Amino acid sequence: MTTAPAPAPSPLGRAYWLLADSAVLTARSLRHNLRQFDALLLSVILPLTLLLMFVYVFGGALHVGTAYIDYVVPGILISAAGYAASQTAVAFSQDLTSGAIDRFRSLPMSSAALLTGHVTASLLRNLLSTLLVLGTAVAIGFSPATDPLAWIAALGTIALYILAICWISIAFGTIARSAEGASGFTFFVLFLPYVSSAYVPPDTMPAALRPFAEHQFVTPVIETLRGLLLGTPTDSAPAALAWCLGILAVTVPASAYLFRRRTRA
């Protein structure tokens, strides 16, 4: 007697199981974050330290045509989001090197959920830390001049930027052969906002740095967020959207390909 093969799941069924598996793995990643209290604390303390240092230590010496705290807070928010999102590379690399991914692949689980679970957990965690930094900024004098629709757009800008960095992190975490190697990506993410419009206008930089600061992808994201929070023009929004969507269009399929290649039996 032969057993008939099980029918292939419908597209709707596959989508359901992808969402269900992603939710399980997202909850797992969030629980791991809570247990790694030092890393969780650092992801909040570092941006808060940057905020207080730039406002109270450097702010009096920097003249940007407006209150420095209003100028720098959008840059701090993007720096905080990028730093925390880059930690996804370390978490994903740890799963790959510890054998956790191999155990998950032995289960009837969508392989895509292994990637989206890490990304979703990072997005939720980073949005929370971003809100904490924003609340602190308001408490020490940041004065956003915006409306509810602009607030939603600002949060959407931050979320899209976090997703872009998360998927870059997944790609780096897949390539890296150790968690230590994956952590090197953090320095790259931390460096970019310093050579952008995050802390000072690019036109105050040396001529050799100015073109890079004006045209790298972090600058239009920061300028868009600054415009949404301060009620100034958001002419850079199309460039910011194009950069983030372009990064996602490249890194999502690239991460899936690298993951399949890394875990190929």
Dump the DSSP string for 70-128.
HHHHHHHHHHHHHHHHHHHHHHHHHHHHHTHHHHHHTSS--HHHHHHHHHHHHHHHHHH
Dist. CA 118–CA 91, nearest whole Å: 8
Amino acid at residue number 135: G
164 inside domain? yes
Supply the range of the domain harboring residue 86.
11-262
The HSE-up count of residue 186 (CA atoms within 13 Å, CB side) is: 17
At residue 6 the predicted structure's pLDDT band, cuts being 50, 70 and 90, is very low
Q: Which residue has the tokens 């150790």?
A: 178
Q: Do the beta carbons of residue 195 and residue 213 sit within 8 Å?
A: yes
**pLDDT in the model for residue 240:** 94
105 is a domain residue: yes
| Contact predicate 219/78, CB 8 Å | no
Lowest mean per-residue pLDDT among 82-86, 138-142, 170-174, 206-210: 82-86
Question: Residue 1 domain-assigned?
Answer: no
- The answer to whether 69 and 141 have CB atoms below 8 angstroms apart is yes
User: Would you say residue 139 lies in a domain?
Assistant: yes
Other beta carbons within 10 angstroms of residue 214's beta carbon come to: 16
Report the pLDDT value the prediction gives residue 263, as an integer from 0 to 100.
76
pLDDT at residue 229, rounded to an integer: 92
Q: What is the pLDDT of residues 215-228, one digit of tens each?
A: 899 999 999 999 99
pLDDT computed for residue 161 by the predictor? 92
| Structure token digits, residue 216 | 């790298």
Classify residue 2: in a domain, yes or no: no
The total of structural domains in the chain comes to 1
Give residue for tokens 């607030």: 151
- Under the banding of pLDDT at 50, 70 and 90, the label for residue 67 is confident
Q: What is the pLDDT of residues 236-255, one digit of tens each?
A: 999 999 999 999 999 999 98
Nearest to 29 by CA among 151, 147, 126, 137: 126
CA-based torsion, 60, 62, 68, 72: positive or negative = negative
Residue 6 within a domain: no
pLDDT in tens, 173-201: 888 777 777 777 767 777 888 899 889 89
Percentage of residues of the chain with pLDDT beyond 90: 23
**CB burial readout 129-147, b (16+ within 10 A) else e:** bbeebbebbeeeebebebe
pLDDT digits (tens, 9 = 90+) for 83-125: 767 778 888 888 777 777 777 767 777 777 888 888 888 888 8
228 domain residue, yes or no:
yes
Q: What rounded mean pLDDT belongs to the chain?
A: 82
Q: Is residue 3 part of a domain?
A: no
